[in-house]
Structure formats: structure tokens, C-alpha cells
Amino acid sequence: MIRPFDRAWLFLSVLLTLVVLATVDVVWMFVDGPVTPPEAVFAGIVAVGGTAIVLLALHHWRQRRTVSAAARLAAIVEWCDDAVIGLTLDGVIDSWNPSAERIFGYRAEEIIGRHGSLLLAEDDPERALGLLPRIADGEVFLNQQHSYVRKDGRTIEMSASVSPVRDRTGEIVGVAVVGRDITAHAAEHRLLQEQRQRLSRIIETAGDALVSMDEEGAITEWNAAAERTFGWPAAQVIGRPLRDVLIQPQDRAAHDAGFARLLRTRVPTLATGDPIRVVARHRSGRDVPVEMKLWITEHNGRMEANAFLRDITAQQQMEAERGRYEARLAHMATHDTLTDLPNRALLMDRLTMALSRTRRTGKTVTLLYLDLDRFKEVNDTLGHAIGDALLTTVASRLRQSVRPSDTVARLGGDEFVILCDDQAKPEDVETIVSRLTSAVCRPISLPSAVLVPELSIGHANSGDHPTADELLGAADAAMYTHKRSRRPGVLVTDR
């Protein structure tokens, strides 16, 4: 039996329940519209401890939430930039969103009910359709890249994720495909791959060694030319410290200091843009002279040092040979080919410089002009070979009789000139002439004869002749004066 107070409370509760239900229905109708009519509400009242509690079975409210979620999902699919396609387990298309229309060119009414293989490029159907049985078993495939065909026949590239669709009981009833057109991206990726492959081929076929090193000093790149140049296979050096592979032990301290500076400043001391020459180490331990071009790259904040290294061993040998050849040419241009004495050009150059010095120092330059008497008769009677032997012997004796600072030159034929620089006193010339005569006019033993040469000598000092030509002319005239004052000759004794 319900007490009067309880009866009043129960009435109020039922009234409140109706108000609440009415309010909820009105809100639901406002949000979702009159598409689905409100369903009946079951209200139960239970008395607990003398207090009435209203239990509401709001199953229609839960259904409203489901319908609302489905509507939101439908809106997402409708406005999604990706193609969202539904398939039966047999591969027949049963749903098709606007983005699928835009990507493939088919309207929904044109494509729904047709088999999905219609969209696949000729080289892909078997591979792509082979996924259907596996999807029916519950597998999910993410970011599958396939070629597809639009309605206009153009092939496009897509990245698609494929997953099974389940009903309320969890049974797999279909296939969902969410795909994005990556044609432009795929083309860029292929171009990038082609560029990388082309660069890789260039690097591998390059004549120069390419070596790269990371921030830890470990080798990260070692091409085929590096293998040939330094004798190490790439597999044996990748990851190893570069200092242990390419740097000679005596140079490693300098390398370590330079590398530490590089890590600190990110500016390579040697990265001038122009090739520089350094010495690297071969696997055998020998030196390898290389021409190096160094540059720095950074990726994700990490530095990498890269260098092209060209073995210049042969180049240095050629340069050395060219240097020797050029030196020989320069020597030949300034020296007599028979006696290897300075020729007229070099003599006049040295004489001009010596005269210039005398104007600063006040010292004297003495020039001696020597002529080998009756040399023509030796050539005519004994032959040019004997004459050449006589000339070379005289040249050698003259060279040994003067100071290292003096110049002994051959002007041609049997004429020689000696430049005595920085003579303190003119009277010293007599001592020089006596020494030269004693040295030269000794017997010369040759295969077919013994010759005793004689000299006519004239000299002149710079004090009276300020220019090189004047001094040389004066010494020449003095020599002829000496020759006429005596009866010169070359004593020839037959063997």
C-alpha cells in the first residue's frame, strides 16, 4: 500500500520523466531531423528504501547516437580527399565517394556494380586481386602502391590501404579501399631515383677516388676508383677511421688537429675550391701523391666531409721530366754544348750585373780574353775529334784554375773569356795569368798525339771601360796585341 506522501512523490517522478523524455525527443528531432521517428520509451519505477527511482530504457537514444555517428562518418567519406571505395569479397564495387569520381573519372552510377579489376593496369590485376582472399581472412594491407587506369585511359599511380569490413557480429562482409593519387609524387620519386642511380654510376665509373667521412671520422663512401687507387676493397674500409686507412702515421697528429678544427668551425681549412696536393697512404704503406678537392655537406645537422682524390703519381713524374727537360733547354740556351761552359749570352748577363755592383762597392772587375794558338792547324791536320778533345781539356783546366765565383765562358771556336769579379787590386791580374798559363800549357795526351797548347791572353779592367761591350772589346784587343808580340804555337808530338 502506497502512503499519501509516497503517492505524491511517485506522481511527481512520472511527470518529471515525461518532461525529460519530451525534452530529449525535441532535442533529437532538432539535431537529426525528422528522418527517423522517435521510438517508445519504457519507464520503470522501483521503490528503494521508501524512495521512488525512475529507470529509463533509452534504447532509442542509443540508436540516435549510432545514426549520428554514421552520419558523421558519411560526411567524412563524402568530403575526404582520398578515394574511398567499397568492394564485395568478390571484388565488385559497391560504394564510391566523390574523390574516387575525381581521381578515376567515373561517376558512382557508372562504376558501382562493376568489378574492381576494371580500374587496375594490365600489369597489376593479378597481383592486386590476389590480396582479396587474404583480406577475407582478416589481413590488412597498408600503403600498397599499384598502377590504376582512369576512365580516359590514362594510367595513374596510387598508394592504397586495404582492409576487411566487418558487420555487427564481426563477420567479414566486404573490403574497404582508401587510396591517394601519387602520380606526381611517384614521377618525382622515379626521377630522383634515376638521378641517384645516374650519380651512383658516375661515382662508380669515375676515374677519381671518392671518399666520404662522417663526424666520427669513419669512412662512409669508397668508390671503385678508391679501391684501385689505395688498394683497399670498400667492404674492408667502410666504417673504419679514415686516419687509420689513408693517413701516414707521421701525419696523423696533424690530421686529427685539422679534423677537430673542422668539427668545431664547420669550415674546412683545405676547402678552397681549388684542388690541393697532399700525400695519402696506400694499403701497402707506400706514399700516394694525390690532388684533392674537398667539400662539406650537412644532413639533419650532421656533417659529412667529402673529397675527390686523383692519383697524380704519373703526373708528377711527367712534371719532373718536363722540369728537367725545360732546365736542359734553359741550360743549352746559356751554355756551350761542347764544353758546357757559359756562352756569350750568359757571360754578358753576368758581366753587366758585375759592373752594376762595382758602382756600389767601388771594386774592380777584370776580364781576361784567351785564344788557343794555331788551333785551326790541329783541326786541319789531326781532325775535329782531336780538336774537340783539346777544347774540352782546356776548358776543364781553366775552370779548375779560377775561383768558384769567377766565370769561365767560351765565345766560340778557340776563344775563351774569364770574368774575375770583385778584384781588389789590378796587379793581382798578373798572378791570375801566370796561374792560367801554368795550368793550361801542359801536355795533353790523346789517343793519336800528345799536344802542348799555348795561349794568347789579353785583359782589361772595369775602371777604364764602364760598359760590358766596351770591356769585352778592350780585352779582345789586348789579346791580339799579346798574340802579335810573340810567336804562338801548339807543339804537336806524334805517338
Report how far residue 443's alpha carbon sits from residue 30's, in angstroms, rounded to the nearest whole number.
140
Residue 322 within any structural domain of the chain: no
Enter the pTM of the model. Answer: 0.51
Higher per-residue confidence, 13 vs 104: 104
**What does the alpha-carbon distance between residue 467 and residue 354 come to, in Å, rounded to a whole number?**
10
The verdict on 464 and 343 lying in the same domain is yes
Strand bridging mode 407-412 / 364-372: unpaired
The answer to whether residue 144 sits within a structural domain is yes
Domain of 271, CATH number, reads 3.30.450.20
- What pLDDT shows up at residue 485? 82
42 vs 14: CA distance, rounded Å: 12
Least confident of 207-211, 268-272, 446-450, 459-463: 268-272
Residue 495: what pLDDT? 41
- Mean pLDDT across 247-269: 85
The DSSP code for 137 is: T
Both 347 and 443 in one domain: the answer is: yes
Question: Which residue, 43, 68, 93, sits at the end of a domain?
Answer: 68
Least reliable range by pLDDT among 62-71, 335-344, 375-384: 62-71
Whether 411 shows a pLDDT value over 60: the answer reads yes
Task: Assess contact for 203 and 307: CB atoms under 8 A.
Answer: no
**Considering the domain boundaries, does residue 468 fall inside one?**
yes
Whether 358 has a pLDDT exceeding 50, the answer reads yes
User: Is there a single domain that holds both residue 261 and residue 357?
Assistant: no
Q: Answer whether residue 128 is part of any domain.
A: yes
Same domain assignment for residues 458 and 394: yes
Residues 115, 56 share a domain: no
pLDDT tens-digit readout, 448-480:
889 999 999 999 988 778 899 999 999 999 999
Last residue of a domain, one of 68, 95, 120: 68
Task: Tell me, yes or no, whether 489 and 350 share the same domain.
Answer: yes
Q: In this structure, are 112 and 259 located in the same domain? A: no
How confident is the model over 22-80, as pLDDT tens digits? 333 333 323 333 333 444 333 443 433 333 333 333 444 455 555 566 566 666 777 78
Is 95 contained in some domain?
Answer: yes
Q: Give the model confidence (pLDDT) of 153-169 as tens digits.
A: 999 999 999 999 998 89
Say if residue 166 is in the same domain as residue 48: no
Contact call for residues 417 and 346 (beta carbons, < 8 A): no
In a domain, 480, yes or no: yes
**448 and 350 in one domain?**
yes
Same domain, residue pair 90 and 12: no
Residue with cell 721530366: 321
| Residue at 449 is within a domain | yes
Grid coordinates representing 364 are 774592380
Number of domains in the chain: 4
What are 307-338's pLDDT values in tens digits?
899 999 999 999 999 999 999 999 999 999 99
pLDDT confidence of residue 42 = 38
What are the beta bridge partners of residue 19? none
Of 256, 281, 315, the one marking the end of a domain is 315
**Exposure b/e, 238-264, CB count within 10 A at least 16 = b:** eeeebbebbbbeeeeeebeeebeebee
Q: Do 298 and 163 share a structural domain?
A: no
Examine residue 40 and state whether it is found in any structural domain, yes or no: yes
Angle between helices 468-484 and 344-361 (to 10 degrees): 110
* pLDDT value, residue 202: 67
Q: Which domain holds residue 465?
A: 335-494
Same structural domain for residues 461 and 361? yes
